[in-house]
Structure 1
Amino acid sequence: MMEKEMRRYVALELQHHVSHSDFVGINASDINYSAGRYDPSVKPPFDAGFEGIGEVIGLGLSASSRYTVGDTVAYFGSGAFAEYTVVPAKESVPVPSAKPEFLTLLVSGATAYIALKRLGDLAKSETVLVTAAAGGTGQFAVQFAKRAGCHVIGTCSSDEKAVFLKSIGCDRPINYAKEDLAKTLRKEYPQGVDVVYESVGGSVLELAVNSLATKGRLIVIGFISGYQTASGIPPFKGGTLPVKLLQKSASVRGFFLPHFLGDYREALTSMMQMFAKGELVCEVDCGDMAQEGKFVGLESVFRAVDYMYAGKNLGKVVVEVAPPNVGDSKL
């Protein structure tokens, strides 16, 4: 198949653009969105998916001042799981090419960059614990904490992931399938950890609270352990939380990316510069090792989500959305 036929495309209309991307990103929050937890007023059928990257195929009046047909753009907004999607031009970011690595920055990279910058208050030589460190956003939290001069601990579920974490600068990968996380932290970090970048929730969150150092900061960026339950929230024994925080002058801080959009463009620009200079690893998992093969086409989105929830991914899970036949095009 010719390269052009393999592309997905993006069209820009008035202030909006219709995008047809080469790749779309999978996020743990996809099932929260599709379950109606983010906006209970939305009734099915509705579009899902948060991010995509592809080529401009059409331009409206306002968009034509910024883009040209054939440009490659990345976009962060709902409705990415589609062969063509309409996105405001202002929510699009020009990228050098339709590499899936750029897609990793839109949600996963931006979450780590902004959360650590705004809520982490990182100082050189501090200790940072990243849970699910080999996942889509964890890989970036490890690298940004390391760039800040911190000692980085990362939890993961396999030796392969531990090797990957070492390769991106993690000082102490902990494979919790082989090591007891609580015992390891007590033994090797008796003074506690200064910052926790936490996305698992439940018992891991409780352990993270107990592991905080004096003046420690715990950043909650998600709680994937509960997303598949009826409520979407994992159980958390928080009865003694005020006492624990007071005794350590510690804090728990929540982070939700849409609340920090004022920081978004600077974060994306900075990360793209790092990637271009070879200073940032953007690990992508397209399902090459998945049982049923690589994630290609919208029909594989559900497989990609299941793959991520099974903890099989190394890096950001990405789906290649093959374009429809030209004769089937609705545009």
Structure 2
Amino acid sequence: MDPKFIELSGGFVPMEMVLKGAFELICDENKSGSCLWISNRRGLEYWGTPLEEGKYKISRRKSPDAVPLNIQMPQNFEKIIVHTLSHNFRSATSVVWAPLRLPLKPDDVLLKIIYAGVNASDLRTVFQWNNKDIVSRLPFDAGFEAVGIIAAIGDSVKHLKVGTPAAIMTYGSYAEFTLVASKHILPVARPDPEVVAMLTSGLTASIALEKAAQMESGKVVLVTAAAGGTGQFAVQLAKLAGNKVVATCGGKDKAKLLKDLEVDRVIDYKTENIKTVLKAEFPKGVDIIYESVGGEMFDLCLNALATYGQLVVIGMISQYQEEHGWKPRNYTGLCEKLLAKSQTVAGFFLVQYDHLWQHHLDKLVRLYNSGKLKVAVDPKPFLGVQSVPNGVDYLHSGESVGKVVVCIDPKLSKLGKIVRA
């Protein structure tokens, strides 16, 4: 072969690069069916990437079929509003009756909520003492994620139908009904609590591990608070990508859940010392840390991070209930630590990745439907809007296992079974 042609085409690809690509295809089940391009210029690149698919692929995605039902439109409905800023969700909020205003604006959608998810960030929302913008908006609607059925649509909404199961990730989810712009509607196959778990919790894990952690295969991944809403997704996605997973939790029930999810090493901090275990069993450190606890746990994780390691902060639940609100902490010597080992600490806030929500939600649903992903919803029942504060308290009690979900409308909770049939 002409050497000039070889040079113009980028040269021969090293065998090490070919072997690395083959290993990734074998170990990462998410890459199943993908085509791997290997070149000296661009390295390893999978076809199709979301960017490339956007250039060449015609989307044929259909909205889920509408569910035949008769939703009565009341004159008023219950919802939770934040009326003052406090570290205590119960004292910061109240249940009020709001008028259901019809007809809708042309681009609006009215969603009848069936299930709403409880998140640690609910407390963060109600105690932002120094945020003047938040103070000026009082009172405002509470709750950030829900699934339900589209009850009405505006005249200009053509791509959605009344009766379609849908999810939302906008404020106002702790309510019997909520009004949102059609662009915020995420069509789903069924309005189940498992789908609620895939929203804030599942999407945070899926997108953060891909974008912030830049997760590959063959790494050691540590997940803190791993038996919670988002931790359960992080451990499974890390395993599916071909990594060794270490998970922390507190209590036998949580440890059992993580073992059932095939976590390689479960550290129950009620029976073992996390620092001692990590130092003894992972002396070189861990490559990726998915951290949601904050405080002393963050310090511990930073000290356990390997050279070139990535620590992704997705929350700090231990600091949300402090009496005087969420106070910033000083980390003396942080820059020196990161510099010494070429480490990275990255923050991740889901709302800044809304352009990826539908893609990653579809991915999680596919994994769930194929049996590769399990979704744990805490069995403790919370029924009706009035029970939301109880759900928030329960989440922060440390007793919950899996995602805490409130059934806003028990009468319509059977719809998930209808859609599945």
TM over 0.5: yes
Aligned match of 2:322:
229
> Partners in 2 of 1:6 and 1:184 — Cα distance?
54
Shift in alpha-carbon separation, 1:177–1:54, aligned structure 2, 3 A? same
Q: Please say if residues 246 and 265 of structure 2, whose CA atoms lie closer than 8 Å, have aligned partners that are also in contact.
A: yes
Which shows bigger deviation, 34-43 or 160-169?
34-43
- Structure 2, unaligned runs of 5 or more: 1-68, 75-99, 412-421
> Partners in 2 of 1:323 and 1:56 — Cα distance?
17
The Cα shift of 1:237 comes to 5.1
> Partners in 2 of 1:194 and 1:236 — Cα distance?
24
The Cα shift of 1:59 comes to 1.7
Amino acid at match of 2:181: P
Amino acid at match of 2:179: V
> Partners in 2 of 1:122 and 1:268 — Cα distance?
18
Instruction: Say yes or no: does 1:279 pair with 2:372.
Output: yes
Aligned match of 1:16:
108
> Partners in 1 of 2:249 and 2:328 — Cα distance?
21
**Which has the larger Rg?**
2
Q: Please say if residues 56 and 69 of structure 1, whose CA atoms lie closer than 8 Å, have aligned partners that are also in contact.
A: yes
Shift in alpha-carbon separation, 1:153–1:232, aligned structure 2, 3 A? farther
Aligned match of 1:194:
287
Q: Please say if residues 74 and 95 of structure 1, whose CA atoms lie closer than 8 Å, have aligned partners that are also in contact.
A: yes
Q: Please say if residues 114 and 176 of structure 2, whose CA atoms lie closer than 8 Å, have aligned partners that are also in contact.
A: no
Deviations 1:44-71 (A, max 9, x none): 32101001111111121122x1222211
Instruction: Say yes or no: does 1:78 pair with 2:78.
Output: no
1:28 to 109, 117, 120: 120
1:319 to 377, 402, 406: 406
Amino acid at match of 2:152: G
Shift in alpha-carbon separation, 1:100–1:183, aligned structure 2, 3 A? same
What is the aligned residue count? Answer: 315
Aligned match of 1:59:
153
Shift in alpha-carbon separation, 1:13–1:134, aligned structure 2, 3 A? farther
Normalised by the length of structure 2, the TM-score is 0.71
Give the match's secondary structure for 1:58: strand
Shift in alpha-carbon separation, 1:69–1:166, aligned structure 2, 3 A? same
Amino acid at match of 1:70: G
Normalised by the length of structure 1, the TM-score is 0.89
> Partners in 2 of 1:207 and 1:231 — Cα distance?
24
How is 1:1-331 mapped onto 2 (pairs within 5 angstroms)? 14-36=106-128, 39-63=133-157, 65-230=158-323, 232-233=325-326, 236=329, 238-287=331-380, 294-322=381-409
Q: Please say if residues 220 and 253 of structure 1, whose CA atoms lie closer than 8 Å, have aligned partners that are also in contact.
A: yes
Q: Please say if residues 271 and 280 of structure 1, whose CA atoms lie closer than 8 Å, have aligned partners that are also in contact.
A: yes
Amino acid at match of 1:210: N
> Partners in 1 of 2:202 and 2:195 — Cα distance?
9
> Partners in 2 of 1:58 and 1:6 — Cα distance?
10
Q: Please say if residues 8 and 21 of structure 1, whose CA atoms lie closer than 8 Å, have aligned partners that are also in contact.
A: no
Give the match's secondary structure for 1:142: helix
Shift in alpha-carbon separation, 1:173–1:234, aligned structure 2, 3 A? farther
Give the match's secondary structure for 2:140: coil
> Partners in 2 of 1:310 and 1:5 — Cα distance?
39
Deviations 1:196-232 (A, max 9, x none): 0000000000000000000001000001111112454
Which shows bigger deviation, 26-35 or 190-199?
26-35
For the aligned residue pairs, the C-alpha RMSD in angstroms reads 2.4
Q: Please say if residues 128 and 326 of structure 2, whose CA atoms lie closer than 8 Å, have aligned partners that are also in contact.
A: no
Q: Please say if residues 18 and 84 of structure 1, whose CA atoms lie closer than 8 Å, have aligned partners that are also in contact.
A: yes
Q: Please say if residues 142 and 172 of structure 2, whose CA atoms lie closer than 8 Å, have aligned partners that are also in contact.
A: yes
> Partners in 2 of 1:21 and 1:8 — Cα distance?
13
